[in-house]
Structure 1
């Protein structure tokens, strides 16, 4: 009907000819605010207003629909867009039996012509108006026709034309009511199945549009698409039709018109489906869109089944399915009574379809399977293949069409489509339409599958790259947040890390490889591994960044990264920081709650080369908080980064009940700023420090007798701390490590330190830079077993060298008791 104003050969002539009802119609939908929401091509040609100029405009200014529009009184003045109204009497059809409270209204009006018509010639418009109820914004459906064309093209004289008026009738009062009901959607093209189905149901209740030639002679209005008649029919044959009440909806000679209309309807349906599916790359949402697109316009039941690999977002399925292929019923859509299908065909069920069923045939051949009508025998056979399932009442007598969902010539699944017995059976044209629907759906599903697969890969890689940070380190508490960017692919090069260092120290690292994607993530992984290795070797911060810069340039000259490396010493209450082009950290003072950006020597990004890195030391107090983040949190395109840094300082100083709450406060304050697309890494450390009374240090001489003294000093201090259960193991391990130091030390300087935190940390330092090695001692060897004992009994142990000195340390789990 949108294209119904083509001036081709007219489909018929004569007052009583059924073809007289085949006229071009304008189709308009008005929303609840009285504004035009749908304006067909026929409306543009009839009223001379384009769709762009009509949609969103007050309908009262465009339509000659008296007494039906908001704030449009029946007897009020005509809008400026029209000449004086010459509306015929409205013909209302009461619908109290139909359950609606409104009336369908008809009328006739003479309008000022559109600009393209000859001067002085006014339009003679017939109109039908249907009030709409239910969900959605649609309030009024208006159909309108040009009575002048009835007179000019169909040969009516002025007297006959004046007697033609719009009317309403029960479709059951007209010839072939089932055909009328089936063809009614053709009046409503391009509206989508949801809206058009609701409108069709209400039109059938409110009254079918007809042309009245007399009180008893009514011709139903059917779409005229402006296509030629079947060749061979003469004008004499057309005019010989007797003037009597129509007895057939489809006039002789109009079969080609109807076939063309049917093809057009299917093409429009497929176009609407194509535009309605794939709106999201979410696999679940795409499945629902694909299934719902078929009901109720094409079928009464639709069930989508997919292979397990597709549903899981895994790689592309290998090869064709077979009898062992597991299919998941992922979605079901129908217009039967609620709950009818739920128990028998539940969503989420997984099973392999039995052989000798039409479902299996479609699955393995990749071709549509059409069963015009499911007979009693076939329903018995299908139901018998499914244990504890009585499908017979659901499928018996229905028309069945099974179409494969394919991509790249591989079957991903299939869709089961059924029509109730009261609807026309699926035919060959429906099979073609269903196959095309499935082909488009298969491509959309495969796109969603590939996106899901890529997201899973990216998420897995990102998760493997990010560390599992321990919330408590010696002398400090840690909290972190990571937010992937909003760009497609999401994976980026931001990272953070915490590394345990000798002497109860902790290295705090945050970095950002420039760019996104797998290359940036791979580079980030290499840099992070390098930082961990060098930190464990106690590489000073400035030298660590220098080594990292050299590594990045060896890996390639296309990579740049920023990095901030900080070492916290909880015993000395000191931060040592070095920066390579990264945004500065924020230090929140516990004493007064103030916050400040630490001024650090900026340095050049990693990968630039040839730029020195400098170190700054900052004294901190117990309870101070250090906040490190990547620029994705504070930098927004189009805004000054200074604004983001100021917001970071302000939000970091906000009081919070816990470290996690403090992180959430920062994220809420800065992540709501519009335009953020980059990754965000946030690391916060509360610098608790270690009290002096929890640290004990002694200096030992490089003599064998000092081993016994070391055992005694450790025993006394552990008893003082109330850790009697740890004394025996601690004495043994300290004895082994001090013995090695005495044996290999080159001077008389041996240090012993015990630190109490969540665990007991023991450190023995001497001036021999060579790191100890664990040896394989034989049964008769007198030495070589000390480090094996330490490795077996200590929770952790290690050794590091700095300058001309080395430190051997081990941790012991704290056990209380006296």
Structure 2
């Protein structure tokens, strides 16, 4: 490598002849504090040359000395180990003659340092010193000056940082994966509906790890005559594609059959991520169905991964991830991360399914408690009612209304709201409704009935509270006798006229156990609408209760609308101004006009 056994350092001229000991040997950086790093060349004693030669030989980084013609003058063993070359293959030759792959960049740096005397430190160089073996180096170049100040060459240091960059890249990818997993978990958990959760998952992975993501629900049984394949729903339950690939969604109504040698079937059967590489020239039929003829030639899919989503111990869906164009093919690390993504979706979807099952039970229970008879068939009265559950992302509440025939005669009107949400609130509501009907059949007046309900709720011991208004209307006199247990007051509206609340003393909510429900009497004039409702209709996070009541009053004072139409208008209008946070009940009553004789 250009070192001599005597300890004298020798280099080589471009013609191959060796230099004499003590000449053209790097020894130190000479200069004032403001000078640029450089190596000075001078005659030194043999002992110093031996020390310098040992340092040159043992440094673990590649060292090179180029003469004024930018030909190799000396190299060390560490540099030779990088490509397996020899001293004779380098000394006297240019970088272009030895390593043409990296020559342009290295030669440019060498010439710049030689001409300007300015060092270049820490430059990144990427290339192949051996065929098929790409490496990365951190390069530094410094000028070599003779003792008289003239420029006589350039020294270069090459540090192989390939493994360091790979480790940094792995660490960076790990951070990206962790951020992706964290983001996906937050997105998926933020939604309650299983379908929305799966769409959130698809939105998270595109374009971060896939160009296309489609989620297919898996049927419980293959169709007859289709072997062991899996029949999925015609349209994906969730779909996301990066910009430019939006047209690749499967055509609506086209059933996609996965025959068994595909990622969807494999993931559904094995409950593990399944990797499939595709040849664009020989695309399988199931992949062609996914294409729908919308893939551009430069964006052909080359890798697909199916990842199962498990809920309740069963595979309920498969997430299909597609890599296209110049995106790298998926590897083992990608499969592992996709499995982790699916695991988070598994838990979230299962929770979502349980929530919706609970919602369905509560809604069914609640609707079963509403009047089944045609409420518009009350003698002498026009009646209309609506019940609307809360929006999908909120639990069902305990609102209810009822129209009954008390033993004492007349028409009983009930509007109530159990505090709280969920199946339990709906169940408590069912108990109260049943009790109201039973007490009404016993002929209890409104005040007596609410006192009995209050005692009943205390006896039940569920620590639940409810508001309720109970009124009995006499169709002969149109007198309304009512009592209120902490409920929002009824509204009284005349078409095209003023609207006001039917204010009266309110007792405490049912369940407080203190009683005190006074009865009040009011006469219902012709063409006047009596509105009973729950606070879910008029209260929202967007506005307070009083603003909501004023908005409802404005709707009820409209001209010439049937009560059915008015119910629909009220529900729609209040939803526009911020309703839907809670379930809603509305009951409208109006005297029928007396027949003209």
Residues 547-588 of structure 1: per-residue CA shift (max 9 Å, x gap): 434433333362332322222222223222233343432333
Which of residues 408, 424, 430 is equivalent to 1:519? 424
Once the 2 structures are TM-superposed, how far is the Cα of residue 368 of structure 1 from its aligned partner? 2.3
Hey, what's the Cα distance between the residues in 2 that align with 1:411 and 1:474? Answer: 56
Hey, what's the Cα distance between the residues in 1 that align with 2:123 and 2:204? Answer: 28
Hey, what's the Cα distance between the residues in 2 that align with 1:393 and 1:467? Answer: 59
User: Could you say which residue in structure 2 is the equivalent of 1:265?
Assistant: 173
Hey, what's the Cα distance between the residues in 1 that align with 2:562 and 2:548? Answer: 23
**Counterpart check, 1:569 vs 2:474:** yes
Find the residue that maps to 1:515 and give its secondary structure: coil
Find the residue that maps to 1:606 and give its secondary structure: coil
User: Could you say which residue in structure 2 is the equivalent of 1:132?
Assistant: none
8 Å CA contact 1:373, 1:425 repeated in 2 = no
Which of residues 393, 396, 401 is equivalent to 1:496? 401
Which of residues 281, 286, 304 is equivalent to 1:400? 304
Hey, what's the Cα distance between the residues in 1 that align with 2:248 and 2:547? Answer: 58
Find the residue that maps to 1:398 and give its secondary structure: strand
User: Could you say which residue in structure 1 is the equivalent of 2:511?
Assistant: 607
Which runs of 5 or more residues in structure 1 are unaligned? 1-120, 122-153, 156-209, 225-232, 310-321, 694-818
Q: Within 5 A, what are the aligned runs for 1:732-743? A: none
Find the residue that maps to 1:545 and give its secondary structure: helix
Distance 1:519 1:477, change over 3 A: same
**Counterpart check, 1:369 vs 2:274:** yes
Give RMSD over aligned pairs: 5.3
**Counterpart check, 1:627 vs 2:531:** yes
Once the 2 structures are TM-superposed, how far is the Cα of residue 408 of structure 1 from its aligned partner? 7.6
**Counterpart check, 1:548 vs 2:453:** yes
Distance 1:619 1:274, change over 3 A: same
**Counterpart check, 1:254 vs 2:162:** yes
How many positions carry a matched residue from both structures? 457
User: Could you say which residue in structure 2 is the equivalent of 1:289?
Assistant: 200
8 Å CA contact 1:323, 1:353 repeated in 2 = no
**Counterpart check, 1:307 vs 2:218:** yes
Hey, what's the Cα distance between the residues in 2 that align with 1:526 and 1:629? Answer: 20
Hey, what's the Cα distance between the residues in 1 that align with 2:580 and 2:510? Answer: 24
User: Could you say which residue in structure 1 is the equivalent of 2:237?
Assistant: 330
Distance 1:390 1:323, change over 3 A: farther
8 Å CA contact 1:475, 1:504 repeated in 2 = no
Once the 2 structures are TM-superposed, how far is the Cα of residue 367 of structure 1 from its aligned partner? 2.0
Find the residue that maps to 1:516 and give its secondary structure: coil
Hey, what's the Cα distance between the residues in 2 that align with 1:392 and 1:222? Answer: 38
Find the residue that maps to 1:471 and give its secondary structure: helix
Normalised TM-score (structure 2): 0.60
Hey, what's the Cα distance between the residues in 2 that align with 1:657 and 1:398? Answer: 62
Distance 1:331 1:537, change over 3 A: same
Residues 696-751 of structure 1: per-residue CA shift (max 9 Å, x gap): xxxxxxxxxxxxxxxxxxxxxxxxxxxxxxxxxxxxxxxxxxxxxxxxxxxxxxxx
User: Could you say which residue in structure 2 is the equivalent of 1:298?
Assistant: 209
Residues 656-713 of structure 1: per-residue CA shift (max 9 Å, x gap): 53324544666678777779955443222112265596xxxxxxxxxxxxxxxxxxxx
Once the 2 structures are TM-superposed, how far is the Cα of residue 478 of structure 1 from its aligned partner? 1.8
Find the residue that maps to 1:566 and give its secondary structure: strand
Once the 2 structures are TM-superposed, how far is the Cα of residue 522 of structure 1 from its aligned partner? 0.8
Q: Within 5 A, what are the aligned runs for 1:340-739? A: 341-342=248-249, 345-346=250-251, 353-372=258-277, 374=279, 398-406=302-310, 411-420=315-324, 422-468=326-372, 470-484=375-389, 489-500=394-405, 505-536=410-441, 538-556=443-461, 558-588=463-493, 593-609=497-513, 611=515, 613-633=517-537, 652-655=556-559, 657-660=561-564, 662-663=566-567, 678-688=582-592, 690-691=594-595
Once the 2 structures are TM-superposed, how far is the Cα of residue 602 of structure 1 from its aligned partner? 3.3
Which runs of 5 or more residues in structure 2 are unaligned? 1-33, 35-61, 64-105, 114-119, 127-134, 143-152, 221-226
8 Å CA contact 1:545, 1:613 repeated in 2 = yes
Distance 1:367 1:622, change over 3 A: same
Distance 1:223 1:688, change over 3 A: farther
User: Could you say which residue in structure 2 is the equivalent of 1:808?
Assistant: none
Residues 8-27 of structure 1: per-residue CA shift (max 9 Å, x gap): xxxxxxxxxxxxxxxxxxxx
Point out which structure has higher relative CO (alpha carbons under 8 A, 6+ apart).
2
Q: Within 5 A, what are the aligned runs for 1:714-793? A: none
Residues 619-645 of structure 1: per-residue CA shift (max 9 Å, x gap): 333222212223445567999867766
Once the 2 structures are TM-superposed, how far is the Cα of residue 448 of structure 1 from its aligned partner? 4.2
8 Å CA contact 1:487, 1:678 repeated in 2 = no
Normalised TM-score (structure 1): 0.46
Hey, what's the Cα distance between the residues in 2 that align with 1:362 and 1:622? Answer: 68
8 Å CA contact 2:110, 2:154 repeated in 1 = no
Distance 1:475 1:324, change over 3 A: farther
Hey, what's the Cα distance between the residues in 2 that align with 1:462 and 1:485? Answer: 12
8 Å CA contact 2:479, 2:523 repeated in 1 = yes
8 Å CA contact 1:380, 1:392 repeated in 2 = no
Once the 2 structures are TM-superposed, how far is the Cα of residue 524 of structure 1 from its aligned partner? 0.9
Hey, what's the Cα distance between the residues in 1 that align with 2:542 and 2:321? Answer: 51
Find the residue that maps to 1:271 and give its secondary structure: helix
8 Å CA contact 2:390, 2:583 repeated in 1 = yes
Once the 2 structures are TM-superposed, how far is the Cα of residue 261 of structure 1 from its aligned partner? 0.8
Hey, what's the Cα distance between the residues in 2 that align with 1:285 and 1:244? Answer: 63
Distance 1:606 1:353, change over 3 A: same
8 Å CA contact 1:549, 1:606 repeated in 2 = yes
Hey, what's the Cα distance between the residues in 1 that align with 2:596 and 2:446? Answer: 26
Hey, what's the Cα distance between the residues in 2 that align with 1:255 and 1:543? Answer: 85
Distance 1:512 1:419, change over 3 A: closer
8 Å CA contact 1:514, 1:520 repeated in 2 = yes
Once the 2 structures are TM-superposed, how far is the Cα of residue 504 of structure 1 from its aligned partner? 8.7
Distance 1:583 1:326, change over 3 A: same
Q: Within 5 A, what are the aligned runs for 1:231-250? A: none
Residues 95-124 of structure 1: per-residue CA shift (max 9 Å, x gap): xxxxxxxxxxxxxxxxxxxxxxxxxx9xxx
Distance 1:446 1:529, change over 3 A: same
Hey, what's the Cα distance between the residues in 2 that align with 1:348 and 1:244? Answer: 70
Distance 1:362 1:393, change over 3 A: farther
Once the 2 structures are TM-superposed, how far is the Cα of residue 521 of structure 1 from its aligned partner? 1.4
